[in-house]
Structure 1
Amino acid sequence: MRPCLSGLGAAAILSGALSGVANARQDFVFSAFNQAALARHAPLPMPGPAQPVGGWRTVLDWTSEFVLQQAAGETVRLDGETLRLGLQRSWRRDDLVLGVELPVLVSGGGVLDAGIENWHDWFGLPNGGREQVPRNEYRYTYTRNGETMLDIDAGGVALGDIRLDGTVCGLAGGCARAMVQLPTGDPDRLFGGGLGASGWYERAYALGSDARWTGVFGAGLAALRADGPLEDMQQTLVPFGWLSLGYALTDALAAGVQFYWHAPLYDGSGLAALADPGGQLVFGFAYRSAGGTQWHVGFQEDPIIDASPDFVIHLSANWGSGAQ
């Protein structure tokens, strides 16, 4: 999967074709964003329903990443697996929604390497050099002009960066949203540690007279204070955007896809893993139970290679107060 896409551009094109009709079906969107270890410091927001309500949300991302690159005095290896479990609670009063997320990270060598290599072989995708190193290792290294700037060979269990968010709806059919990220993670272990904030506009859309095609688009800007082993290379302003599209197979079950794009998170490097923008393509299903709980299962690939993880299994559940 290597299409050349632009999330913001696609969102702008689709915005002009919005039906503007509120629909009874659930807006299709994945709560998925870049799970790369070198992206954890950035306050990239998590997409969500364009008209959020109070309630609970649990999001689990099982990420396997591998990058092995060398160019002009630089060498990088990003190799490991991480489980990110995010527990969110939100409260709504009129058009104002406030929320908080507590993320826990479990990282290590993992068990997915062999399965991912087979997955890539089945679909004719490159393995990016996975076959050149032992499987299921945890190793994050970066050297520049002979200087070791990053060298981590042990994972662990740790708290990530706590996030506080606010939403005001009713603006041109959508919502204005903001998020503050607190540096509660450890930047030296790539568990976050990024103090920052982001602001964005998000809106749902429906296509067709029966509104079986639905989705959400959003776009905005993140600002952060650099920290950690590569702080001198981190960008402090990062634009981002996403676009989702799903089709209602039944009133309870939908299938769809989502693309999330963001500008490069680092500067001053000739390696794609640091210098390229990030792009995550997620495809999967959404199911709404009779009790109102919303379930999502998705699989993420990296159409913009190296700056996003190879493979992510994404699971989420929303419940309580009319969950969306």
Structure 2
Amino acid sequence: MRHWLWLPAYLLMLSFLMYALVSAESGEGGAASEMSLAEERTSLYMAYETPSVPWHLLAAVDRYERNIQRLRNDLEEVEGLVSFRFPEAFWAGAPNPEAGDSDPAAIEFFDGRGMDGNGDGKADPNDAEDILFTLAAALGEHGGDEDAHRLALWGFYGSEEAVGQVMTISELFRQFGTIELDEYVFPLPKTHHYTYKGTWGAKRGWGGRRMHEGTDLFASYGVPVRSVTYGVVEVKGWNEFGGWRIGIRDAHNVYHYFAHLAYFEKGIEQGQIVEPGTVVGYVGSSGYGKEGTAGKFPPHLHYGMYKFDGRSEWAFDPYPSLRRWEQEGK
């Protein structure tokens, strides 16, 4: 009987011990487990921003590198907090016989640019903190305004397209205060009737033989057309094929193309930042002729997606994305 008397106390002590163990584990790793990878990256970018180089520009360079690494076979896809890597000659110095040199004195001797960002006595070309510290110094060497940043980025990439992509990503991160811009919506409101099917690769005859680079969504005149993502309006105006059209660039090197509009939403201008659901125009039948031509086909939205890989831009089938966004919006 005395054993039964001790049982409640024993169970209470066991519960307390388990609680203490769980609390200790949470105290050791809880903060890290609660912080998402995006939050860890953002925290790191912010730690290494300077008066000349804001965190969102560091984040944009890193995101751009991550974007193109996923697309190209000639680039290693770097895992971890920071994907950006400097060329070996830049980091260690062109005449340095030790390509992966992490000795700050040797790097300086060979006119390398790699720097020790965390004070551990090494300028490690694979250390996230050393990379961001060096990147901030390189991006700020010409000054802290947009022209200075563009000049520094040109030194990295030698491409106006690449520079433009990075600056677009930076502006989006700055505007929304986060690198988590992965929300998408269907381009047409579900309160309106519409139909569509996969039309990728279909033949087109007007203006010469070509293939259809997108998906046609048929709807009535005047149905609102919405931005599917966070982005910057890169193009707005007339195109003889697409009629009144808008192009929006997002933070993943994707260009979203909306064509055959009847007219644009009032106030939408080139360079403007939009978010998922922002109305940019209205379904029409413009195109296939000189400016103002309309009515040569039934009203519909032509929606296309183009990816930039650091060298060229190419179209890919948007139909699977449209189906997913439509289903997720139910």
Q: Which TM-score applies when normalising by structure 2? A: 0.22
Q: Pick the structure with greater CA Rg.
A: 2
Q: Which TM-score applies when normalising by structure 1? A: 0.22
Q: Which protein, 1 or 2, shows the higher relative CO under an 8 Å CA cutoff with sep ≥ 6?
A: 1
Higher helix share goes to which structure? 2
Higher strand share goes to which structure? 1
